[in-house]
Amino acid sequence: MRRILPLLFCLLALPALAQTSLRIGLASDPDVLDPTLSRSVAARQVFAAMCDKLVDINERLEIVPQLATAWEWQDGGRALLLTLRAGVHYQDGVAMDAAAVIAGLQRHLTTNGSTRRGEMGPVRGIEAVGDMQVRILLSEPFAPLLAALSDRAGMLVSPRQATVTGIDFQRDPACAGPFRLVRRVAQDRMDLERFDGYWDAARIHIDRITYRPIPDATVRGANLRAGQLDVIERVLTSDVATMRQDARVRLLDGPSLGAVYIAVNIANGPAANSAIGRDAKLREALELAIDRQVLNQVAFDGLFRPGNQSVPPDNPFYARALPVPARNLERARALLREAGYPNGRAKMRMSVPNTTEYVQASEVIQAMAAEAGIDIELQVIEVATLLRQWTQGEFESLIILWSGRTDIDANLWSFNACGEALNGGRYCNAEADAALREGRTLVEQPRRVAAYGRAMDILLRDRPYIYLYHPTNFFGTSARLQGLHLVADGLIRPQDLRLR
């Protein structure tokens, strides 16, 4: 009996020993883990494991089924019929049906502070068509809707939590994804466990995922090489060559939908009463002080793409009549003199996320601006805090990444339209609003391109945002990891991942 008991104990322990854990290093700590309220890139990474969407995108940026298996535009683009996947359960055991989906979509539309409402456009109602179909009714055609449903607007929570939001939601969240959140320690970790009732369980080969926010890219890379992490996002461009030569790790790279820009507080509270917020000539001078090509070379080893719009120059929606402006120090200095700045020098403050890439870029911009006569005071701030300050207007200017979407509307509307949730600087121009609204309600691409071109002409003149560059996605993984498929949205999808 003495010999049998230890053997029995070992056999019982085998399943626990066989479980696999994936450790992911993020560049920042997410804001609130609630898909209706969240606005951070880091939260999207965690949602990739927590919350499936009605539709997804693939490596070719095609919209593909997820919680919805089929879709059909009706009534001249004023209705979208979605056929739902059978056999889906939320992480609290509730089955997904038409009523549950309606509750989840209405949550995005009606929750106070929702950052999804603007993404969903002119929705006038959502109705059930039997048990497993829903129809989204629109007051006018809205071409970007399906693309919006491939991101957080398409993430559904259990009906039990339709009115539970924010911190209360993330204490006991229930989405329809492959992993459920079991613990979050702010600035330290998020622990997720596999959901056994997941509809696509055959593609999940990991039992646990731990996300660790590590703002310093060098530290993230060192942890990967030491075997303390299995995946890291946003590898430093200066580490690319070294990582490619290290047999312990793999480097994956691909294009990104993202854009990095300087956002300006135009009209949101007392902080908008600043030189950069009030003076369009100062904003123009700042842009003319920046050499985007040099910024890319110095800060990112020439591996990113300079840009001046929300999409890169090879995108069909890029306004080619408005190319990336060259640096012009003489004109920048003249603008400061015209604006009456004492001794031709102006001052401004710029908030900077506390991650390596932003700090590097902002220091280069600071040096370039000083040559034109603009003295920038940099304030380095933790990312979630910076996002909160952006929303509340507690900034003069800031540098940040928008991770980008497949439809240009999601890159522009919520940030520039009057009163929209992501418009932290409270920029408002009726002419720009009209052009943006026209672009999102048209179906024919040539007419949409023309409308967004008119909007971009106004936005580049007013400069509520100064776009700088489009990053390349660089991910580092352990040599043991298999199955990571890079998509231009930069999300680490857990489906098909394995650790050898």
DSSP 8-state secondary structure symbol assigned to residue 96 = P
Query: What distances in angstroms separate CA 128 from CA 37, 67, 84, 102, 473, one per listed residue?
Result: 25, 16, 11, 8, 40
Closest of 212, 247, 171 to residue 492, by C-alpha: 212
Report the pLDDT value the prediction gives residue 18, as an integer from 0 to 100: 60
Name the band, by pLDDT with cuts 50, 70 and 90, for residue 129. very high
Distance CA 435, CA 96 (A): 38
Per residue in 37-81, pLDDT tens? 999 999 999 999 999 999 999 999 999 999 999 999 999 999 999
Per residue in 221-233, pLDDT tens? 999 999 999 999 9
Per residue in 5-19, pLDDT tens? 444 444 444 444 468
Average pLDDT of every residue of the chain? 95
Report the pLDDT value the prediction gives residue 4, as an integer from 0 to 100: 45
Q: Report, as an integer, the average pLDDT of 312-327.
A: 96
What's the CATH number of domain 19-30+177-251+473-499, 3.40.50.740, 3.40.1500.10, 1.10.3720.10, 3.40.190.10? 3.40.190.10
Per the CB < 8 A criterion, the answer to whether 384 and 28 are in contact is: yes
SS3 378: strand
DSSP 25-78: EESS--S-S-TTT---HHHHHHHHHH--BSEEE-TT--EEESSEEEEEEEGGGT
Report the pLDDT value the prediction gives residue 3, as an integer from 0 to 100: 46
- The number of beta carbons lying within 10 Å of the beta carbon of residue 74 is 12
The percent of residues in the chain predicted with pLDDT above 90, rounded, is 95
Comparing 405 with 6, which gets the higher pLDDT? 405
Q: Report, as an integer, the average pLDDT of 194-213.
A: 98
Name the band, by pLDDT with cuts 50, 70 and 90, for residue 123. very high
What φ, ψ does residue 252 adopt, rounded to 5°?
-115, 140
Comparing 443 with 433, which gets the higher pLDDT? 433
Q: Determine the length of the chain.
A: 500
Q: Report, as an integer, the average pLDDT of 291-313.
A: 97
The CATH number of 52-161 is: 3.90.76.10
Per residue in 83-119, pLDDT tens? 999 999 999 999 999 999 999 999 999 999 999 999 9
Token couple for 189: 């970790």
**Residue 480 above 70 pLDDT?**
yes
CATH architecture entry for 259-470: Roll (3.10)
Q: Report, as an integer, the average pLDDT of 182-206.
A: 97
Token couple for 219: 């530290």
Report the pLDDT value the prediction gives residue 19, as an integer from 0 to 100: 80
Per residue in 335-375, pLDDT tens? 999 999 999 999 999 999 999 999 999 999 999 999 999 99
User: Domain coordinates of the chain in residue numbers?
Assistant: 19-30+177-251+473-499, 52-161, 259-470
- The number of beta carbons lying within 10 Å of the beta carbon of residue 326 is 9
Q: Report, as an integer, the average pLDDT of 363-392.
A: 97
